[in-house]
Structure 1
């Protein structure tokens, strides 16, 4: 289709939500780029980071998994999760493969590309940074915590997020944003999946200065818990726009109408849920609404 050959689309976020969007953009091939959060410190990813260091690979692996179109021994290996009572229990082989390549001094982006080629994944996947960093949060009460899992568990409302240490964004990520015809934020965990890439000045500046791209925010289908669950949609949109300064979000897409926001943002209401899982976005429905926005 001409649309898929003519337009470049960038989606920004974390594992499950970004994976759904990238699956919806699969027809765009290399004209679609996912910029993936690398600050996760939970589950298999967190355990690997604790003993091996490096960036978080879990969200990247999740995105690749959702883009695999041809089941094979290679894809089964990449998705395999160990079971049992030993130290390997719960570890995902894909995480370990990417960590091993990192330990062999293969550049993280090159490691991702090697896996993409092996699994025949055309959509480009770029880590937000190739340097390890953790998410930190400051609450209204002055409590500061480090690590995504701790941020999600905070009882107080947040006033600030940061990355510790400060790290540079990948040049490929900023270039993709600067060349994009559409930039998609969400869906996904707002504070721990969507916000971390926006905390990188290079990424925020690339969004702010690409005035030709349509900037799209996609809402979650189910409510979040923790601090993000206590934030209104208006607050989330304001947090995003504060990251890239004067740049406004052009379109907000979700299943719920927001008449109270209509004077501030263009809110588009569409049915987006998967027929068998109401909390998950349907790939085809996402594809249709994204392509509709590109045609406009």
Structure 2
């Protein structure tokens, strides 16, 4: 138990992958922090952003859902998804609750903490930024696209990713990285979940400067498609290290062996699927 009391862990990413990692880290309680991607523009989240503005709430909501250990009426409401043919069809009530609380709060992080307290979630959940931004990508043919959904659908390989507009990282997330004993990247969609937080200079610098922490990359749990699916694992690792000011990744954790990487990286093979 002393490990959970004295060691601090930060996990960075989005989608279902980050939620599963945070669920595994639940035993660390408030010593664990999830830094969540906020650039999604699809589904219920995208519709809310289109008409209400603000950051994307879907990945944050999913992480909170994964951390609920005491089911209640409140948690059932938070997880509820509307059905039917009207305007609410497909919307998740948790996304709407976070949007409403964001409008009523000084900061988006205040909205998250209100929900965490209501649902008795101990793990810290921090948005990568409290300012709205979209993911943009430049293809090898010189074409720019905007939005996560468009990035996933690109037929060409990528030259670079950016955030538009440039936004600051949430200071609590940067502070958590600076004091972490371990920093986990992934699992999750590489270009649209893992990379967006690393595009924030403050996060990249904080990872680079915390040389005492173990930096761990976890491979995605399922095959990727689109441009991410065409990237080799070595290229993904190089993108991460470049975003982190050339900070070397200490451990790569995946379900498949990668003998071609052993000269440069420490690769550990494990069955990562839940039993």
- The answer, yes or no, to whether TM exceeds 0.5 is yes
Q: What SS does structure 1 have at the residue aligned with 2:56?
A: coil
Matched, 1:250 2:250: yes
Q: Matched residues in 2 for 1:221 and 1:76: separation?
A: 27
- CA distance in 2 between counterparts of 1:106 and 1:174 reads 19
Deviations 1:1-21 (A, max 9, x none): 011001000000002000000
Matches within 5 A, 1:93-108: 93-108=93-108
Alignment of 1:143-292 (within 5 A): 143-275=143-275
Residue segments in structure 1 that go unaligned for 5+ positions in a row: 276-296
Aligned length: 275
Q: What residue number does 1:18 align with?
A: 18
Secondary structure (helix, strand or coil) at the match of 2:162 reads strand
- Give 1:271 deviation, angstroms: 1.5
- Structure 2 distance, partners of 1:105, 1:118, is 15
1:167 partner SS: coil
Aligned residue runs from structure 1 range 116-127, under 5 A:
116-127=116-127
Query: What RMSD, in angstroms, separates the aligned Cα atoms of the two structures?
Result: 0.7
Give TM-score, length-normalised by structure 1: 0.92
> C-alpha distance in 1, partners of 2:123/2:57?
17
TM-score (norm 2): 0.99
Determine the C-alpha separation between the residues in 1 that align with 2:208 and 2:105: 33
Distance, in Å, in 2 between the alignment partners of 1:109 and 1:15 is 18
Query: How far apart are the structure 2 equivalents of 1:15 and 1:26?
Result: 17
Paired position in structure 2 for 1:81: 81
Partners of 1:124 and 1:61 lie apart in 2 by 13
Correspondence list, 1:54-69, <5 A: 54-69=54-69
Residue deviations 1:51-103 (CA, integer Å, cap 9, x gap): 00000000000000000001100000000000110000000000000101112
